[in-house]
């Protein structure tokens, strides 16, 4: 669904899902991928400032904290192993930050998890890697879905919004959360990660998104039946299912797949992944197209399953 169609539908019927706020998407992306955060390097003060900004926005949108102890940010302490053959020299300690917020549903024991990673590559050899597509685009998608869904009636299932830290360093934030969960992992019905959706993929239709691991579960087809412009991953040779935070969750048995709309374009992990390359109409439409399908998932009794032999 293109943004114009979403706006038109919203104007015609006040009972439809809220249309996206294009200004919100643009403002959030311009800050996250702008000069102030210097590329949100994994485990840096810039990543922390990004987490603070996202947490403040989610609180402003009316979401409740979900990081434990009434907090929106889960601070992860990562200690590297003791250096071998160095007289038991202690390992180094580093940090990363996950942002977790929720819309409390009527069923606290059933959770739909929407996620993205908030970090990127930061500054290397004096050059800033802004990461506008990877993954500021996914981050603002999760933030906008939170804003829109918070305006709807209370869902049946709880919806948790997670922005993971230090994905670029090896899915560190997501892996830390799995070891230190702030709610029961067994309650997660499904996880949708959003990664690199700021540009249309020439291998699919201009308004389509694709889902990694399409053949692994029945989640993608079910979402498509309820309005999601989702198709299978057109880049199977690039193994995207295993390359984002969803994989850490999937390895733990959770149905977890990634929504995307571009493969490894020429600006991937380059200083040229900048705001001027963002297709704003595509991004707005991509986010808007997922509101109703996610709302359906949060209010249905559908529980996705792994297809035979496809569980990682």
- Domains identified in the chain, total number: 1
| pLDDT at residue 2 tops 70 | no
| 224 occurs within a structural domain | yes
Whether the Cβ atoms of residue 164 and residue 117 lie closer than 8 Å to each other: yes
User: How far is residue 272's CA from residue 279's CA, in Å, rounded to a whole number?
Assistant: 15
For the chain, what percent of residues have pLDDT higher than 90?
Answer: 87
**Is the torsion defined by CA of 295, 147, 70, 153 positive or negative?**
negative
Give the per-residue pLDDT at 4: 38
CATH number of the domain encompassing residue 192: 3.40.630.10
| 83 occurs within a structural domain | no
User: How far is residue 98's CA from residue 176's CA, in Å, rounded to a whole number?
Assistant: 9
Residue 284's nearest CA partner among 3, 36, 30, 43 is 3
Helix (H) and strand (E) counts in the chain? 8, 11
The 10s digit of each residue's pLDDT in 225-269 is 999 999 999 999 999 999 999 999 999 999 999 999 998 899 999
Confidence band (pLDDT; 50, 70, 90) for 7?
A: very low
| Radius of gyration for the chain, computed over Cα atoms and rounded to the nearest angstrom | 19
Listed range (12-16, 61-65, 211-215, 273-277) with the worst mean pLDDT: 12-16
Confidence band (pLDDT; 50, 70, 90) for 291?
A: very high
Confidence band (pLDDT; 50, 70, 90) for 202?
A: very high
| 13 occurs within a structural domain | yes
| 84 occurs within a structural domain | no
Please give the model's pTM, rounded to 2 decimal places. 0.92
| 306 occurs within a structural domain | no
| 141 occurs within a structural domain | yes
| 88 occurs within a structural domain | no
Domain around 19: 3-78+93-299
Residue 95 — φ and ψ, nearest 5°?
Answer: -135, 155
Give the per-residue pLDDT at 159: 98
The 10s digit of each residue's pLDDT in 15-66 is 444 589 999 999 999 999 999 999 999 999 999 999 999 999 999 999 999 9
Round the average pLDDT of the chain to a whole number and report it. 92
The 10s digit of each residue's pLDDT in 120-176 is 999 999 999 999 999 999 999 999 999 999 999 999 999 999 999 999 999 999 999
| pLDDT at residue 9 tops 80 | no
| 87 occurs within a structural domain | no
Two tokens, residue 246: 């969803």
């Amino acid at each position: 669904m293109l943004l114009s169609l979403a706006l038109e539908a919203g104007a015609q019927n006040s009972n439809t899902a809220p249309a996206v706020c294009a200004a919100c998407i643009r403002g959030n992306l311009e800050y996250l991928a702008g000069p102030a955060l210097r590329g949100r390097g994994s485990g840096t003060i810039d990543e922390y400032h990004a987490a603070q900004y996202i947490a403040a926005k989610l609180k402003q949108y009316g979401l409740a904290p979900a990081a434990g102890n009434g907090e929106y940010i889960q601070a992860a302490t990562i200690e590297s192993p003791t250096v071998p053959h160095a007289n038991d020299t202690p390992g180094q300690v580093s940090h990363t930050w996950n942002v977790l917020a929720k819309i409390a549903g009527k069923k606290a024991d059933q959770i739909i998890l929407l996620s993205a990673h908030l970090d990127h590559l930061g500054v290397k050899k004096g050059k800033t890697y802004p990461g506008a597509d990877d993954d500021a685009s996914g981050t603002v998608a999760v933030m906008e879905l939170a804003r829109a869904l918070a305006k709807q009636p209370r869902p049946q299932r709880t919806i948790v919004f997670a922005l993971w830290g230090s994905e670029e360093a090896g899915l560190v934030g997501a892996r830390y959360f799995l070891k230190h969960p702030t709610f029961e992992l067994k309650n997660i019905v499904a996880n949708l990660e959003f990664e690199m959706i700021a540009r249309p993929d020439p291998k699919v239709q201009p308004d389509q998104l694709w889902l990694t691991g399409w053949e692994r579960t029945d989640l993608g087809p079910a979402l498509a039946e309820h309005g999601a412009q989702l198709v299978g991953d057109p880049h199977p040779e690039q193994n995207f299912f295993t390359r984002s935070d969803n994989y850490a969750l999937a390895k733990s048995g959770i149905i977890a797949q990634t929504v995307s709309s571009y493969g490894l374009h020429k600006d991937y992990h380059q200083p040229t992944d900048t705001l001027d390359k963002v297709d704003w109409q595509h991004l707005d439409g991509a986010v808007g197209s997922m509101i109703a399908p996610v709302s359906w998932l949060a209010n249905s009794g559908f529980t996705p399953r792994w297809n035979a032999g496809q569980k990682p």
